[in-house]
Structure formats: structure tokens, C-alpha cells
Structure 1
Amino acid sequence: MDIQKYFESAETMDLARDMLGHTFTYESNQGKFSGLIVETEAYLGPIDMASHSYNGRHTKANDPLYQAGGTIYIYSIHSWLDMDISIQKAGTPNGILIRGLQPLEGLDLMEKNRSKTGFDVSNGPAKWMAAFGIKDKALSGTFLNKNNFYFSAKKVQTPQEILTTPRIGVKNKEPWTSKNMRFIVKGNPYVSKLPKREMNLDTYGWL
């Protein structure tokens, strides 16, 4: 799989949907962590009031968004760390936030890193980052499938149904607040802020 081509040759919204069911892996000094992507959010660069590159804002910190598709962008928000993948060709600063992961490998270490068990280990963008033991922005600007982070060439699981909703935490930025730019595997318990009554504990929302 040409990872750069994957992240540069389709629309950002379509990629945010397609990423669901692929695996995301981190090979760290602590060990190997891996999970299924169950929740994403799309950010459409300079036109998107919720994007870090809105109006063409370009700083040293958000420079990874301006790099080739497949570049890792790690940033802090309220003292937590989140991760976007740069989307589109260099110079077009779109991004996709990985919001939720269903653990596959390294669960014991994740639970230790988070001091949590169950779905709360990785059902949120800062939660899975902490579970993977990512404590700083040192790897921001690195490229997928070349360094520490790996995205699977193919879907490992196929969602039964994908739901689209407004993004979380985008306040007072209409019309962008209300746009359906968040994609989730319906019923997957590792989706952030999912009420228990909506959880599918039989199949976790996979075919």
C-alpha cells in the first residue's frame, strides 16, 4: 500500500469514513500497541473554522498538517495530547483526528498506562494516546509506515453501519459546528461518549 497515495488521492471526508476498521499501530520502547479505528473526525483546512489551519494559519507546531498526506500531527489541547493524520498533498492542510480505538495488541500495557480497564481505556482521542504511552509531541511530523506509527493497508474489520454526526467540542463556529464530519462504527463501545444503551456488545458493530 502506498500510504501517501492513500491519504492524497481521495476526498478528506471519504477518507475519514474509510479509515474505520483499519488498524493503527505504535511500536514504542515500552512495547507494541495496536487498535482498530472506530471513530474519526475530518478537518478541512483553511475553510474550516474548527481546523488548526483555518484561514491559512501556519506555525511551527501545525506544520505537519502542511506536509504530505500520511504525516503525523500531534498537538496538545487542555494539557492532553491528540493526533491527526495530514490529508491531501503537501500545502493543503487538511487533517483527520483519530478519536477512538478498539484495543488489539498491548492491552495490559494500555491499562497500566491509563490506570483504567474496560472501554474507558481508549474511548477518546486523548485516552488512546495516553494508553499508547505517548507523552509528548516528539513524533509529530513523522510519517506513517516509516517510523513508529503504522496504518494497515486494508480494513481488518468492516463496520455493519457507519454513523455521521457533528464533531465533538466544536462550539460557536457555525455552520461548522453542525456539519456531520464525525464518523463512528455504530454501536462500538470504544466510541467516545457513547451511552451504554447504544452499545452493541455482541459484535461491537462489525460484520
Structure 2
Amino acid sequence: MNVQNYFETSKTMDLAQDMLGHSFTYDSNQGHFKGLIVETEAYLGPIDMAAHSYNSRHTKANDPLYQAGGTIYIYSIHSWLDMDISIQKAGTPNGILIRALQPLAGIDLMEENRGKTGFDATNGPAKWMAAFGITDKTLSGTVLNENNFVFSDKKIQTPKEILATPRIGVKNKEPWTSKNMRFIVKGNPYVSKLPKRDMNLDTYGWL
């Protein structure tokens, strides 16, 4: 895959939906980890009050957002680590947060790293990072498909239905708090904060 072509030539909101069903792979000294992306959140750079680059804020820490599309941005929230992918061409600091993954490979290691089993191992942005054994920001600024992280060329699975909802944890940022900028595979049990009554345990929300 031409990563820059994929992440730079479509609208950020469209990409946040299209990423669902692609696989995300991480190869580390600990092992091989792979999961399907089931939940994302879009952030629209300088105009988005919830974005780290709101009002064109540019620091050493958030510099990966300003780099070419497909650059990894790892940051800490309340001592937990999250990961965004930079979107659009260098200089336009949009990002998409990978919020949750459905495990495909390395599941035993993920559960060992998390101390959790089943859906709770990777059903959140900090949870899957911990499950993958990512414990620091060393790889922030690296580019997808060039080293440790691989984003699949094509969808591995196709969502039957994608739901758009307000983002999680965005408070007092209206009108951005209420905007539907979080996208999920409807019914997938690995989606964060999904009530059990909404889980589709037959198909996990895939066609």
C-alpha cells in the first residue's frame, strides 16, 4: 500500500470510516500482534477544539500530526498511552484515533500484557496499546508500513453497518462535543463501552 496516498487523498471523516475492517499489525521484540480496527475517532486539526493541534498548536510532542499522512502519533492521557494516525499532507495536522481492535494474532500475549481476557483485553484505545506491549512513546513519529506498524492494503473484513456517534471523553468543547466523529462497527463486542445488549456475538458486525 502507498500509505501517503491512502491517508492524504481522502477526507478525514471518510477515512475514519474506511479504516474499519483493515488490520493493524505490530511486530516487536516481544512478539507479533495483529487486530482488526473496529472503532475510530476523527480529529480535524486547527478548527477542532478537541484536537491536540487546535488553533494550530504545534509542539515537539504533537509534531507527528504535522507530518505526512500515515505518521504514528503516540501520546499520554492520564498516564495511559493512545495512538493517532496523521491524516492529510504534511502541515495539515488532522488525526484519527484508533480506539479499539478485535484481536487476530498474538492473543495470548495480549491477554498476558493486559492481565485481562476476552473483549476487555483490547476494547479501548489505551487497552489495546497495553495489550500490544506498547509502553512508551519511542515509536511516535514513525511511519506506517515502514517498520514496526503495518496497516493492511485492503479490508480484511467489511462492516455490515457503521454507526457514527459523538466522541468519548470530549467535554465542554461545544459544538465539537456533540459532533458525530466516532465510528464503530455496529455490534462488534470489542467496541469500547458497548453494552452487552448491543453486542452481536454471531457475526461481530461483519458481513
Deviation (angstroms), 1:7:
0.1
For residues 149 and 41 of structure 2, what CA distance do their matches in structure 1 show?
19
Alignment of 1:60-79 (within 5 A): 60-79=60-79
Percentage of matched positions with identical amino acids:
86
Structure 1 counterpart of 2:38, which letter? V
For residues 45 and 181 of structure 1, what CA distance do their matches in structure 2 show?
13
Aligned to 1:169: 169
For residues 147 and 81 of structure 1, what CA distance do their matches in structure 2 show?
20
Deviation (angstroms), 1:11:
0.1
Aligned to 1:113: 113
Structure 2 counterpart of 1:145, which letter? N
Describe the SS at the equivalent of 2:130: helix
Question: Please, which runs of 5 or more residues in structure 2 have no aligned partner?
Answer: none
Structure 2 counterpart of 1:26, which letter? Y
For residues 203 and 3 of structure 2, what CA distance do their matches in structure 1 show?
29
Structure 2 counterpart of 1:203, which letter? T
Describe the SS at the equivalent of 1:15: helix
Q: Residues 58-92 of structure 1, C-alpha deviation per residue, up to 9 Å, x if partnerless?
A: 00000000000000000000000000000000000
Deviation (angstroms), 1:126:
0.1
Structure 2 counterpart of 1:13, which letter? M
Question: Please, which runs of 5 or more residues in structure 1 have no aligned partner?
Answer: none
Aligned to 1:47: 47
For residues 5 and 52 of structure 2, what CA distance do their matches in structure 1 show?
23
Aligned to 2:153: 153
User: Within the alignment, does 1:186 sit opposite 2:186 as a pair?
Assistant: yes
For residues 109 and 81 of structure 2, what CA distance do their matches in structure 1 show?
18
Describe the SS at the equivalent of 2:29: coil
For residues 61 and 96 of structure 1, what CA distance do their matches in structure 2 show?
16
Structure 1 counterpart of 2:78, which letter? H
For residues 107 and 96 of structure 1, what CA distance do their matches in structure 2 show?
24
For residues 175 and 55 of structure 1, what CA distance do their matches in structure 2 show?
15
Deviation (angstroms), 1:49:
0.1
For residues 118 and 32 of structure 2, what CA distance do their matches in structure 1 show?
19
Describe the SS at the equivalent of 1:146: coil
Deviation (angstroms), 1:155:
0.2
Aligned to 1:9: 9
TM-score (norm 2): 1.00
Q: Residues 93-152 of structure 1, C-alpha deviation per residue, up to 9 Å, x if partnerless?
A: 000000000000000000000000010000000000000000000000000000100000
For residues 160 and 179 of structure 2, what CA distance do their matches in structure 1 show?
23
Structure 1 counterpart of 2:139, which letter? L
Structure 1 counterpart of 2:109, which letter? L
Describe the SS at the equivalent of 2:65: helix
Structure 2 counterpart of 1:107, which letter? I
Aligned to 1:136: 136
Q: CA RMSD in A?
A: 0.3
User: Within the alignment, does 1:100 sit opposite 2:113 as a pair?
Assistant: no
Describe the SS at the equivalent of 1:200: coil
Structure 2 counterpart of 1:205, which letter? G
For residues 24 and 118 of structure 2, what CA distance do their matches in structure 1 show?
19
TM-score (norm 1): 1.00
